[in-house]
Chain A
Amino acid sequence: AQTVTQSQPEMSVQEAETVTLSCTYDTSESDYYLFWYKQPPSRQMILVIRQEAYKQQNATENRFSVNFQKAAKSFSLKISDSQLGDAAMYFCALAGSNYQLIWGAGTKLIIKP
């Protein structure tokens, strides 16, 4: 069975600072994909960043980057220069060969002005 674990229910960071959200996963598949989704209070689910497991290079999207450690089955999200608009729930998700997403419990990110 595939599982995704987010051990931080809540994180806070000062505006303009950097924060890292943790995610670990378990899967027996060799080909899989990892994602971070953002869910603001509107509850819309927004794709932030993705990582293909076969790629060694860590994905980057503007202020968002990941640290993908395949052997450790770890997939953390780093947000640089945090902005007030980054405040949201962040979900880590895993997709295997059937493409269905398996989700973590989420981390609530609070940005302090």
Chain B
Amino acid sequence: EPEVTQTPSHQVTQMGQEVILRCVPISNHLYFYWYRQILGQKVEFLVSFYNNEISEKSEIFDDQFSVERPDGSNFTLKIRSTKLEDSAMYFCAVTGQDSYEQYFGPGTRLTVT
């Protein structure tokens, strides 16, 4: 089972500030995903990333969001100007040996004040 770490575990930021959430897979993976879970609500797909390109994105993933893999290992999600409604758990996921199985990192809890 692939291992994934995420940093930070908890981020508190003020509205309008930029945040960068990081995902570090332990071994090489091709497919990366970001999901978010607003407290008490469903998990929502944000974006999938394959071969250093966005392959799919949801309606939530608007211009204030971006993803990149700057150094070939870390996979980052940037929110340019945070809003109160961005407060949520953000999960990174990677695929295992079978490309349809997704394994999740521990999540980053983002609190926007």
Are the chains A and B members of one assembly? yes
Decide if the interface of chain B is mainly helix, strand, loop or mixed: strand
Smallest Cβ distance from B50 to chain A, in angstroms?
A: 9
* Bound-state Cα–Cα, A63 to B107, Å: 27
Which chain A residue has the least Cβ–Cβ distance from B37? A43
- Tell yes or no: B101 within 8 A of A by CB: yes
Sort chain A's interface into a size bin: 20 to 34
- Contact B101–A47 (Cβ < 8 Å): yes
- Contact B42–A33 (Cβ < 8 Å): no
* Bound-state Cα–Cα, A33 to B89, Å: 24
Chain B positions within 8 Å of A43 at CB level: 37, 89, 106-107, 109
What 0/1 pattern do residues 69 to 113 of A give for CB contact below 8 A with B?
A: 000000000000000000000010101001111111110000000
Name the one of A46, A93, A99 contacting B31, with C-beta atoms under 8 angstroms: A99
Decide if the interface of chain A is mainly helix, strand, loop or mixed: strand
Most A C-beta atoms less than 10 A away, residue of B1, B100, B109? B100
What 0/1 pattern do residues 80 to 113 of B give for CB contact below 8 A with A?
A: 0000000001010101000111111011010000
Given contacts A45-B107, A95-B100, A98-B56, contact A104 B42 (CB under 8 A): yes
- A residues with a Cβ closer than 8 A to B are 33, 35, 37, 42-47, 50, 52, 91, 93, 95, 98-106
